[in-house]
Amino acid sequence: MRRRPSHWTEACGVRDPLLNEALKRLAGEAATRLSTLVASGDQIPFDVSEQPGPDSLFHSYVPLTAQYVYEREGELRALPAFEQAREAVEMAGVAAPYLEEHGEPVPAVGGERAARMLVTFIAQLWDGCAEFSLDHARLQSALAVLDAEVCDIDEADVLVAPLVGLQMSLARLMLPRAIQVVRADTFEAPIEAMRSEGMGREAWQPQFLAIAEQDGGPESGEAALRQLQDLISVMRMFKRGGIALGPYAFAPTGEGRWRRIATGAAGVRAGGYRLNAEEAEQLADFASTLEALPDPHGSLAWAVNRFELGCERETALRGLSDHLLALRAVLNGQGPVGASLPMRAAALIANESVDRIGASERVEKALELELAVMSGAEPAGSTGLALWVEDSLRSVLREATLGELGEDLGTAAEETLIAAGLDAGDAAIVGATSEWETPETTGEVEVTVAQPYEDREAEIRQHDDQETRILEPIPVADEIRITATPWLDEIEIEEDAGTLEWPAGGSGVEHRERIDTPRVRHLFPVPEDADWEVRELNYDHYRHAG
């Protein structure tokens, strides 16, 4: 955005023709009535003030015309044009902002607000004048000031907010959505936005402003304010530091006047936020990437919000609970491994400076530190650990908002643990679930392809001619047969220890059923003499009833 000239908002005028005409008529009648009072002997009070200059011995008389008008409020209310002007002001809804701008009390009743605004307007119209002549240029200027003071913020071109804590080497930084960060001396801004009090800087250090353009549509002021708040979120996600919006944002309304709107910004951490040229470029790239992605939702959006609350605390230790809550929000739950919160967090935090085991231990210490802080303690080294948690969470949320970890961070963490366990042979991770358990086999494994069913049918009947067939075998074209070395061959039995009894009455491995016989036939042996007869039982109910 180019720097605007000082007259860039002078095109404004009172947009309500009815209000414009009513105020002009009231001003004409007031000029006549007040001039008559002065001519009849009323005295305009005055004050004595010294002329400018340290060595001046002369004094000047300053008419207190506004005070005189306030004292004659009853005369103004009696004018014929007053009631019509009051109705026009009430319909336009401009009384409250005008009175606030001039530091006047705002009555609760709409009609009284409008009447009070008219008296204030007439008083300001002739303030400092020795007479009540109606000057056309003076009246037009007063109407323009009124328009600027009651102008809707949504109609402004831009919204400007001072940035607390920011210092950078560049004079201007362009960001997505037409947002700019500029040094205050390169932009025409209100004096209030240039003050150093509460801005986290020394008076001789430059002030930086965040500027969001508005489209002039309904609620464009609120939309621009949200864009400025999103800028702070992106900056906090990018790197550590104390950064925030100032308490007020400002919208130009014309005639060199600015309307202010509260930003709702909370406190900012001490230490400031510094960007060199390289970091500023990286910040712009990071913001552009985020702009092209969908906004976070669900637990991730909640975690980002909680992360920002922690960054607004006065120290990292005060924000520790917020940051641990953010970790819990995105990493709690059930997964394939069922790992604990420290293990899950460590899977995403581990890097070149700290391995997975070290990161897990630090998260566990942070959880213990949180309990200690709750009890009012502040152990040694706690600030450094709290800062490490904040930086680690920042890294995780940054990757998550960029879409690098998927939608479920808990699952992403456990998949990382599984992969790390497989690479390192970590049985504590890989063996934590039956899904990953594989049976151990010893000895030689033989894999053969069985003969087709038609070729072995006769052999099956010859082997099982003494058995009653219960189930027919399922025909298969080919079958994979896997046999292993019998496990009893690996057991050493002493000669006097007796023999092992088979739990199912088997006689030995050599008599075990072959794999190419029906799988359940041997479970139902039929004796040779199976001609059983069971006599029918007759039960005499009458005989046994007595």
Which of the listed residues 150, 170, 188 is the one where a domain comes to its end?
A: 150
**101 in any annotated domain:** yes
Angle at 62 between CA 60 and CA 66, to 5 degrees: 175
Q: Is 451 left (phi over 0), alpha (psi -120 to 50) or beta?
A: beta
**3 in any annotated domain:** no
pTM (global) more than 0.75: no
State how far the Cα of 214 lies from the Cα of 221, in Å rounded to an integer: 7
If asked whether residues 115 and 166 sit together in one domain, one would say no
If asked whether residues 448 and 540 sit together in one domain, one would say yes
Long-range CB contact pairs, 136-140, < 8 A, 24+: 139/24, 139/27
Domain count within the chain: 4
**522 in any annotated domain:** yes
Structure tokens at 447: 């894999």
Q: Are 233 and 181 in contact (CB under 8 A)?
A: no
Angle at 377 between CA 371 and CA 382, to 5 degrees: 80
If asked whether residues 339 and 263 sit together in one domain, one would say no
If asked whether residues 323 and 191 sit together in one domain, one would say no
**462 in any annotated domain:** yes
If asked whether residues 157 and 146 sit together in one domain, one would say no
Full residue range of the structural domain in which residue 97 is found: 17-150
If asked whether residues 311 and 420 sit together in one domain, one would say yes
**408 in any annotated domain:** yes
* Per-residue model confidence as pLDDT tens for the chain (546 residues): 333 433 333 334 446 788 889 999 999 999 999 999 988 888 888 877 665 555 555 667 788 888 999 999 999 999 999 999 999 999 888 888 888 888 888 999 989 999 999 999 999 999 888 888 888 888 888 888 887 777 767 767 789 999 999 999 999 999 988 899 999 888 888 888 888 888 888 888 899 999 998 876 777 788 889 999 999 999 999 999 999 999 998 888 776 778 888 888 887 888 899 999 999 999 999 999 999 998 888 999 999 999 999 999 989 999 999 999 999 999 987 766 778 889 989 889 888 788 888 889 999 999 999 999 999 888 888 999 999 999 999 999 999 999 888 888 888 888 888 887 655 445 455 444 433 343 444 444 444 444 544 454 555 455 555 444 444 444 544 444 444 455 445 445 455 545 545 444 444 444 444 444 554 455 555 555 555 554 555 555 455 444
State how far the Cα of 349 lies from the Cα of 356, in Å rounded to an integer: 8
**8 in any annotated domain:** no
What's the pLDDT score for residue 290? Answer: 92
If asked whether residues 471 and 415 sit together in one domain, one would say no
If asked whether residues 454 and 431 sit together in one domain, one would say no
Which of the listed residues 115, 150, 185 is the one where a domain comes to its end?
A: 150
If asked whether residues 325 and 193 sit together in one domain, one would say no
If asked whether residues 207 and 173 sit together in one domain, one would say yes
If asked whether residues 138 and 246 sit together in one domain, one would say no
List the one residue out of 353, 359, 352, 362 whose CA is nearest residue 413.
359
**9 in any annotated domain:** no
**502 in any annotated domain:** no
State how far the Cα of 390 lies from the Cα of 326, in Å rounded to an integer: 10
If asked whether residues 62 and 85 sit together in one domain, one would say yes
Which of the listed residues 225, 254, 287 is the one where a domain comes to its end?
A: 287
